[in-house]
Each structure stands twice: as structure tokens, then as C-alpha cells.
């Protein structure tokens, strides 16, 4: 019998596996690679990236994991507030000035200033909501964040505004993978707080690309990691759990004292057949929006306009942000090396508009738009690959706060982990994986004590 079976080799499952690496563990991952929604690949001095790109640092679970695994992360270099809209591209400056620097009708400018002030007021409230309070648990704080303006959508909150005003707000809010009428007002406000860097948030780039972290952990697991191992069912026995899976299509079964279930909620709900009905029901109600992303490698020489930018918001395009992944190299090189690595991504309805097209068509649509945003880039592209994420990210919809108590209640010897348990993406995934591992270590220690006691009383 295994001490722990971990189901899902995304960052949540890998974080649990790292903390439990001195126990008898087995990690089952259905795909042929680890990382889940984290995926990058190295290309010379650069890396191509398709998934999570910015990470928490400092005194966070992510900071702990990076330090502990020896993986280096640095502050994201370059401007995070580029904007390309209505034929003009601005690479930096104060965001408040943008409505006056981007060509748009006067009504839209007025709408922008009014709505901007409304959002800024709530962002200030939000920063008090997320602040840690003395004596409270992390779960209490997370519940408060979910409850913030959770009774209406972001669209209801901003009301009817001119089309260009809405277009300017959309790229930030929809990065959540939800459209503005799906996302709760509080989560929309929270996104501005995140993007404006209030209260820390996601500010780190992983040197060498995000998969450096996931692959380092995977390498430390050796033979305790099985790829192409698809879990179908997890069921409790008296003091253990049975995990049924197919490895390369062949049915297998393994028994464990405990399980970390670190798949998206859509899968957890299905495979954990005997969790309490209210936990399963809550899992079934977690909502995800899709993402489509693409990574581009180019071979241009000499300085380019995008060299100092990290993120350029792109309203009214097929993707809503262009990200400069080579920026991490730009920040540290003496002489400008040839080439760049850019990432584009499309959340929510933008992704739904692309999911039915084949990869060649998506590439062409992206390159046409990229060429408008960054003229000249498309001529130098030497590699381009598209990735689809049907469950791109869980989002906080109006009413989502009510699910949290059931989702965070313990269900026997099966522990849930994943980004859907909180509001900070990879940071939530990592902290939930680490917390599951901590609880499991205590159960395993108790099991050992009980076994020892039984043995000595039998003797
Ligand atoms: C384009 C994009 C951009 C993003 N940007 C950011 C960002 O900048 N910052 C940030 O913090 N977050 C970002 N995110 C979100 C972030 O990537 C996720 O929150 C995080 O990676 C989720 O980790 P996880 O382990 O919870 O889930 P996942 O990564 O989904 O891992 C779950 C794993 O379970 C496996 N699995 C599923 N079913 C089974 C089964 N039946 N049996 C066995 N294994 C199974 C899956 O294959 C997968 O590997 C982004 C996501 C995308 C797609």
C-alpha cells in the first residue's frame, strides 16, 4: 500500500509531491508531460510559453516552493501597461492618461474617466479586503475575498458605457477567462488590483521558463511519477483509498493511505465517487472559461519597439494581450541578441471564437493581428505553435462564495488541491497542494503510531 497517491501532475499535484517526497508516493498524470496549464519550452537563450507566465514571490507559497527547489525567479522586467488600440500603440506611462492618448470619441473618454474612478474606488476597498487580519485563518481571508461584491457581475457594476470604454476595460477583466457579464464585480475589481500590482500579486518571471519549476520537481520524483496514467475512479475503503486508472490504456489499481486529488474540479467531481454529496455538488458548480494561446519565436536583429515592454493589452483583437517572453533576456543582456519570443492569449469568448478553427487558421489570425500591433514582427517569425485550454481558468461568478465552505471541507482520506480553491491561480494551486501535503503528513504519522501500538500490544 502506498502512503499517498497524487492524481494530477499540474503545479498543485507537484507541490504536494514535493512536500511528500520522503514518503512512499505515486503521482499519476493523464498526459504525456507534467505541468498541466504550465507549459514552456526552451529555445536558445529564450523560452516559448503557452500557459501561466507570472508568479507570486516573496512571502508566498510560490516563493517558498521556488526557494526550496532552487528554481530562480526575478521581478518581471519592463512595462506591464502597454496598450494598442484604435491604431495607436503606447508602451508606457500612467494608465490614467491612456484615454487621452488613444484616439476615441469624446463620450468614450468621459466614460473612461467616470468608470475608471468608480473602479479605482473599489480597488482601494479591495486592497483592504485582501489585507491579512490578526488572528484569522487563510480560509477566512479567502472567504472574505470571494464575498466581495459577489452579488452582481462586473458588467452590472460598470453599467452601460460607450463601446470604446468597455473595450479598454475588457482585456484586463477577461484575463480571468470569463466575459464581463460572467465574472463577479469583486473579481473584476480584484483583477485591476492584481494588474496594477497593489498588494503584491503575481510579479515574478521564472528564469528559463515556468516549466523549469514543474520539470525540476518531476525529475526529483524519479520512478514515482507515471505519465499517460489516466485516473477513472477514487473510492474509500475503511482506512485507505483505492485508485483505479489506465496506464497507456491498460487498467490498473493502486491502494493508498491517502490521496491528493489535484485535477481541475470538472474531473475531481467525476472521479471522486464517494465524496460527500455537497462537496461533489460544489465541485460540479465550479465554472471555467477557456483559453487559446500561442507562442512565437522570431529571428530579427537589432532593437525593436517591444523590447522594453512585457505586456501589451490589445482590445478589439483576436487575443487580448501580447506578452514579451524574451523581455527576461532583454533585461540582462549587454548586447541585443537576435530574435524574440512572444506569447498571445485569448480568454473567454475570444477563445470560443477560435476553438473551432484549425491551428493554421488560428496562427494566421494571430499573425495578422500581431502585425498590426507590432509592425514587422510577423515577417521574422520562425516558429509558431498554438495551444488550447478548454478549462483555462476557474473564475469567480456571482454566487461563487457560497461554494467555498463545502469545497474546503475535508472529505475523508481524499484531499482536494487546485487553483479552483482560491483566487490567485498558481499561488492558490501551490498553497492548496502544500496544505494537503501537510495534513497528510500528520495523518500518516498518526497511522504509523497506531500501527506501532497495535504491534507492541500484539507482542
Ligand atoms: C494561457 C494561460 C495563462 C495563464 N496565466 C497565468 C499567470 O500568468 N499566472 C498565474 O498564476 N496563473 C496563470 N494561469 C493559470 C495557471 O496556469 C493555473 O492556475 C495553474 O497552472 C493550475 O494548476 P493546477 O495544478 O491547479 O491545475 P492543472 O495545471 O490543470 O493540473 C491538473 C493536472 O491534472 C491532470 N489530469 C486531469 N485529469 C486527470 C485524470 N483523470 N487522471 C490523471 N491526471 C489528470 C491534467 O493533465 C493536469 O496535468 C494561466 C493559465 C493559462 C491557460
Average pLDDT of the segment spanning 290-319: 95
* Nearest atom in ligand 1 to 50's CA: 1
User: Above 90 in pLDDT, residue 269?
Assistant: yes
CA 42-291-158 angle, 5° bins: 130
The closest residue, in CA terms, to atom 13 on ligand 1 is 52
Rounded distance from Cα 38 to ligand 1 centre (Å): 6
pLDDT, the chain, mean: 94
Spatial separation of the C-alpha atoms in residues 4 and 440, rounded to whole Å: 8
- If we measure between CA atoms, which residue out of 52, 109, 110 comes closest to residue 85? 109
- How many angstroms separate the CA atoms of 235 and 414, rounded? 9
Quick one: average pLDDT of 166-181? 94
Expressed in angstroms and rounded, the spacing between residue 34 Cα and the centre of ligand 1 is 10
At residue 245 the predicted structure's pLDDT band, cuts being 50, 70 and 90, is: very high
User: Mean pLDDT throughout 180-193?
Assistant: 95
User: Residue range 431-454: average pLDDT?
Assistant: 93
Pick from 54, 265, 325, 425 the residue to mutate for probing ligand 1's pocket: most ligand atoms within 8 Å of its CB: 425
Please state, in angstroms and rounded to a whole number, the distance separating the CA atoms of residues 344 and 346: 7
pLDDT of 450 reads 86
- Which of 12, 36, 197 for a ligand 1 pocket mutation test, highest count of atoms within 8 Å of Cβ? 36
- Predicted structure pTM score: 0.97
Residue 215 confidence (pLDDT) = 98
* pLDDT value of position 448: 86
Ramachandran category for residue 61: left, alpha or beta (phi over 0 → left; psi -120 to 50 → alpha): alpha
Measured from CB, residues less than 6 Å from any atom of ligand 1 are 7-13, 28-31, 36-38, 51-55, 202, 230-231, 262-264, 267, 271, 291, 293, 345, 389, 392-393, 418-419, 425-426, 429
Cα(302) to ligand 1 centroid in Å equals 36
Residue scoring higher pLDDT (79 or 10): 10
Tell how far the Cα of 419 is from the centroid of ligand 1, in angstroms.
8
Spell out the domains of the chain, with CATH numbers in brackets.
2-72+206-275+411-458 (3.50.50.60), 77-202+288-395 (3.90.660.10)
Q: Which residue has the higher pLDDT, 368 or 202?
A: 368
Amino acid at each position: 500500500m502506498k502512503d499517498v497517491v497524487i492524481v494530477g501532475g499540474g503545479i498543485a499535484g507537484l507541490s504536494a509531491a514535493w512536500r511528500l517526497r520522503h514518503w512512499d508516493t505515486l503521482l499519476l498524470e493523464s498526459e504525456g508531460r507534467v505541468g498541466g496549464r504550465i507549459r514552456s519550452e526552451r529555445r536558445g537563450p529564450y523560452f516559448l510559453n503557452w500557459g501561466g507566465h507570472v508568479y507570486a514571490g516573496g512571502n508566498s507559497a510560490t516563493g517558498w516552493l521556488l526557494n526550496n527547489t532552487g528554481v530562480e525567479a526575478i521581478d518581471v522586467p519592463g512595462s506591464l501597461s502597454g496598450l494598442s488600440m484604435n491604431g495607436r500603440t503606447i508602451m508606457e506611462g500612467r494608465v490614467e492618461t491612456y484615454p487621452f492618448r488613444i484616439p476615441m470619441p469624446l463620450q468614450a473618454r468621459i466614460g473612461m474617466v467616470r468608470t475608471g474612478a468608480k473602479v479605482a474606488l473599489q480597488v482601494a476597498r479591495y486592497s483592504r479586503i485582501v489585507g491579512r487580519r490578526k488572528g484569522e485563518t487563510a480560509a477566512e481571508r479567502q472567504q472574505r475575498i470571494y464575498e466581495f461584491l459577489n452579488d452582481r457581475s462586473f458588467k452590472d457594476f460598470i453599467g452601460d458605457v460607450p463601446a470604446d470604454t468597455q473595450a479598454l476595460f475588457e482585456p484586463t477583466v477577461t484575463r480571468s477567462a470569463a466575459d464581463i457579464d460572467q465574472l463577479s464585480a469583486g473579481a473584476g475589481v480584484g483583477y485591476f488590483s492584481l494588474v496594477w500590482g497593489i498588494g503584491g500579486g503575481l510579479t515574478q518571471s521564472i528564469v528559463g521558463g515556468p516549466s523549469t519549476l514543474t520539470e525540476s520537481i518531476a525529475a526529483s520524483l524519479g520512478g514515482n511519477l507515471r505519465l499517460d496514467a489516466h485516473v477513472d475512479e477514487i473510492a474509500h475503503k475503511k482506512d485507505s483509498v483505492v485508485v483505479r486508472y489506465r496506464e497507456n490504456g491498460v487498467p490498473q489499481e493502486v491502494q493508498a493511505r491517502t490521496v491528493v486529488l489535484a485535477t481541475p474540479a470538472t474531473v475531481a467531481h467525476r472521479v471522486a465517487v464517494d465524496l460527500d454529496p455537497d462537496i461533489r455538488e460544489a465541485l460540479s458548480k465550479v465554472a471555467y472559461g477557456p483559453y487559446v494561446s500561442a507562442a512565437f519565436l522570431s529571428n530579427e536583429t537589432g532593437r525593436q519597439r517591444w523590447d522594453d515592454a512585457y505586456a501589451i493589452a490589445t482590445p478589439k483583437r483576436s487575443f487580448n494581450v501580447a506578452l514579451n517572453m524574451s523581455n527576461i533576456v532583454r533585461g540582462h543582456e549587454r548586447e541585443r541578441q537576435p530574435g524574440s519570443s512572444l506569447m498571445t492569449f485569448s480568454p473567454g469568448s475570444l477563445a470560443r471564437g477560435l476553438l473551432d478553427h484549425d491551428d493554421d487558421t488560428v496562427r494566421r489570425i494571430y499573425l495578422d493581428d500581431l502585425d498590426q500591433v507590432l509592425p514587422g514582427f510577423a515577417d521574422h517569425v520562425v516558429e509558431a505553435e498554438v495551444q488550447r485550454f478548454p478549462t483555462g481558468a476557474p473564475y469567480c461568478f456571482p454566487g461563487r462564495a457560497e461554494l467555498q465552505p463545502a469545497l474546503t471541507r475535508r472529505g475523508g482520506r481524499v484531499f482536494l488541491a487546485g487553483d479552483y480553491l482560491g483566487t490567485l491561480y498558481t499561488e492558490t494551486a501551490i498553497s492548496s497542494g502544500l496544505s494537503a501535503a501537510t495534513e497528510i503528513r500528520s495523518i500518516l504519522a498518526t497511522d504509523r503510531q497506531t500501527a506501532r501500538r497495535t504491534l507492541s500490544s500484539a507482542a
